[in-house]
Structure 1
Amino acid sequence: MKYGVLVFICFAVTLLSCKNDDNGGPEAIPPSLLSDVAPEDDETIREFLNTHFYNYEEFETPPEGFDYRIVIDTIAGENADKRPLMEDAESITLNVSSSFLGLSAGEENIAHKLYYIEAREGGGESPTYADSTLVRYEGSLLDGTTFDEGNDFQWFDISRIEVRGFANGYAQLKTGTLDQIVENPDGTYSFNDSGIGVIFIPSGLAYFNRTAGSIPSYSPLIFKLELGTFVPDTDHDNDGIPSIEEDLNSNGVLADDNTDADQEPFNAIRPNYLDPDDDGDGIPTRDEISDENGNIIIPYPDSDGDGVPDYLDPDN
C-alpha cells in the first residue's frame, strides 16, 4: 500500500487548518460540521453516479481474456448512451458522531449514505464488517486519482481499517469460495467466483477534515473491491464471543463498546472485541460463557437473571 491509508486509528487526532489573522498570528479554523458536509457529499456522489458508467457490458457478457476489473468512465461522446452507475447502485445509511472522528462539535448520529454496486456476485457468503476478509482493492478520488491499491489479495479486519466505510462496503458483497481458488504462474492466486464490486464513500465515513497522503480533506472516496474469502464470526480476542456480537449498541462501530472502560488505564484501553475479560472482573470471558468441558453455552449464562450476561456483569 502506498500510504497505509487502511491502518486503523480509532479516535484520530483532528488536525486544524490555520490562516493568518489581522495581527499576523495563526488562527485555527474549526472543522466543518458533519451535518453540513454529509448532504454536500451525497449530492456530489449522486452527480458522479448519474454522469459516469462502468464496463457492465463486459461483466454481463465477458469477452475472451476479460480480467474482471471494473473500469469507470464518463457518459459522453461515443459513450453517451451508456447506463449510468446510479441505475445499478444500492445504498445503506450509517450514522456518524463527531466524537468518533475526534471532533468536539457534539454532533450525534448524523446520517451518511454509502453507495455500492455489485458487478459480479460472489459464490460464497457476505462477511460482516467485523469479519476478517480477503480483499483485493483499488482506492481513488472521484476525479480518478488513485491513492492506494493492493495488486494481490490482503486480509483486512476492523482492527486495521481506518476508513470506516471500507468494511461497511465490502460487507454488502459476497466472497468467493475456497474450492474455486486458482494459483497463478506468478505465484499469486485468484478466485474463479470472487465477488466484485465498487463502493462510493462520503468523507464522514472516511477521513473527513483530515488529509491522508494525496487525499485532500472532505474527500468522498471510491474503492473497487474483489472479495476472495472470509473468516465467519471472526473473534479478534479469542474470548468465545464473535466480534460482531461485541457491537453492543449496534451502531456499526466496535471501538465504542467497552464495558470496563472505567477500570482501564488511559494508555491501555481495550474495547470489548479486543478484551478477553470484557467486564474486568478478573474472570476471562471465555470461562464465563463455557461449561466445565470448555463448550460455549448459548444463550450466554446470566446467573442473577438481570438481563446482563455474566461476561458483561462484574457482579457475577
Structure 2
Amino acid sequence: MNKFKYYFILLITTVSLFSCSKDDAAEITPPREFAVQYKTDLTDIEEYLKTYYITVVNHAGFQDDQDVTFTKIAAGGTQPSIYSYLNSPTYPKLLSRPVKLHDITYTLYYLVLREGTGASPSNVDGVLAAYKGDYLSRQKVAEVETLTATFFEELRDPQQFFNLTTTITGWGETFPEFKTGTYSSKDDGTVSYKDFGAGVMFIPSGLGYYNLGSNSIPAYAPLVFSFKLYEINRLDSDGDGIMNFQEDIDGDNYMRVFATGVANPDDTDGDGIPNYLDTDDDGDGVSTRTEITGTNGVLIPFEFIPSCDGNTTNPDRVKRHLVKCN
C-alpha cells in the first residue's frame, strides 16, 4: 500500500512539472525580415538626422577635443540639422556609403567632423578608439510618439584595440573612411592625441545587434556612435607574414568573405578564401609564409618581396604572393 502511494505521488508530481514547463515555455519569435526592418530603421535614422543639431568642442590636445553633443531642434529653431551637412564641401560633412548584406543594400550614414591626418585602417585591422553610444527608439509621451536617443555606453580613455572583424558590422564599414592623427606622451604618463579622425556613425540595426540586442540595447535598435580614431593595430589573420591591409589587392580598405564561385577582388586564386585568410594566396601548393622566407629562415619584409620578374624597386609591381608566376 505504501509503495502504491509513493508511485501515485510521483506520477502526480511528474505530470504537474510537465504541465508547468509546457505552459511557461517562452514562445520563440522568428527574427523580422531584414528588408522590412531596414525600412523602419532608415526612417528613424533620417528623422534623427533632420531633427537634431550638433555642438562640437574644438580643444586640440585635450581629451574633450571633438566631443560632440546632439540636441533636438525646438519648434521654430534655426539651428542647422545634421542632415543639412549632407555632401557638404567643408567639415562637418554628412556622407553615406552602400553596404550590401542580408540580400539588401543598406545606406550607412556617417558624419565626418575631421578626417584625420595619418593612416586609415582596413576593415580587418584593430583600432584604438574612444566612443560614445546611443540607441534610437520611439516612445509615447502623453499619447504622442516621439523619436528619442538613449545613452548606453561611453569609453573616453581606451586602453585596448578593437578588432574590427569581431565588432558589429557598422564599425568595420565606417572606420576605414577615417584616419589616425598624432600623439605624444605627457610628463604625467598620459597620452595627448591630436589631428585624429573624428565622426559619428548612424547604424541600422541590421549592421548592429539586430534581434539580439546587447545588454541595455533593445532588439532592432538603430545605433548612433560618436568616435575618435587614435591608432591602428595592423593584424595578420592567417599568420602568413603579410599584414591584412597589405593583402588588399584593390586598395579600397575593405576585404570580404564571398561565396565560392563569386568574384572577389581580394582573392587571387579564386578559391573562395580572401587573401587575408588564405595561407596559400596564389594556390600553387606552397604556403605564402614559405615563399617569403629567406634562406636564413627570416621572413622577407613585404616591401622587399620580389615580383615575378624579380624586381623589388617598382612600387607598382605585382607581389609574388598575390599572383602565380608562369
* TM-score computed with the length of structure 1 as normaliser: 0.67
The one of 207, 210, 220 equivalent to 2:209 is 207
Aligned residue in 1 for 2:134: 140
Given that 2:115 and 2:198 are in contact with CA atoms closer than 8 Å, whether structure 1 keeps it comes out as yes
Name which of 60, 64, 69 aligns with 1:67.
Answer: 64
CA distance in 1, matches of 2:37, 2:254: 20
Instruction: Determine if the alignment matches structure 1 residue 287 to structure 2 residue 290.
Output: yes
The answer as to whether partners of 1:129 and 1:171 remain within 8 angstroms in 2 is: yes
Say whether 1:127 aligns with 2:121: yes
Letter in 2 for 1:38: Y
Aligned to 1:223: 225
Match of 1:20 in 2: none
Equivalent residues of 2:133, 2:153 under 8 A apart: yes
Q: Could you list the runs of 5+ residues in structure 1 that have no partner in the other structure?
A: 1-22, 98-107, 260-269, 303-307
Aligned mates of 1:146, 1:292 — CA distance in 2: 56
1:160 corresponds to 2:158:
no
Give the deviation of 1:85 after TM superposition: 0.6
Counterpart position of 1:114:
108
Taking a change above 3 Å as real, the CA distance of residues 66 and 133 of structure 1, as seen in their structure-2 partners, is closer
Identity of aligned residues (%): 34
- Which has the higher Rg, Structure 1 or Structure 2? 2
State the secondary structure of the residue aligned to 1:286: helix
Question: Partner residue of 2:36?
Answer: 36
Deviations 1:140-188 (A, max 9, x none): 1133322222221331222432x110122122222112xx434374x43
Amino acid at match of 2:186: E
CA distance in 2, matches of 1:184, 1:43: 49
Tell whether 2:174 aligns with 1:172: no
| 183 and 222 in structure 1: CA distance in 2 versus 1, 3 angstrom threshold | farther
Distance change >3 Å, CA 278–CA 28, structure 1 → 2: farther
**Offset of residue 82 of structure 1:** 0.9
Whether 1:80 and 2:77 are equivalent positions in the alignment is yes
> 3-state SS of the aligned residue for 1:50?
helix
* Cα 1:287/1:140, change in 2 over 3 Å: same
Q: Distance in 1 between matches of 2:228 and 2:24?
A: 51
In structure 2, runs of 5+ residues without a counterpart are 1-22, 86-93, 137-147, 262-272, 308-317
Matches of 2:278 and 2:100 in 1, distance apart?
Answer: 25
Q: Say which of 151, 154, 157 aligns to 2:156.
A: 151
Taking the aligned partners of 1:234 and 1:55, their CA distance within structure 2 comes to: 35
Distance in 1 of aligned mates of 2:116 and 2:230: 8
Give yes or no for the alignment of 1:91 onto 2:70: no
Distance 1:246 1:135 in 2: 24
Shift of 1:132: 2.1
Coordinate RMSD, CA, aligned? 3.8
Q: Relative to structure 1, is the Cα distance of residues 51 and 216 closer, same or farther in structure 2, using a 3 angstrom cutoff?
A: same
- How high is the TM-score relative to the length of structure 2? 0.65
Indicate the larger mover: 141-150 or 204-213: 141-150
Question: 1:243 Cα deviation (Å)?
Answer: 2.0
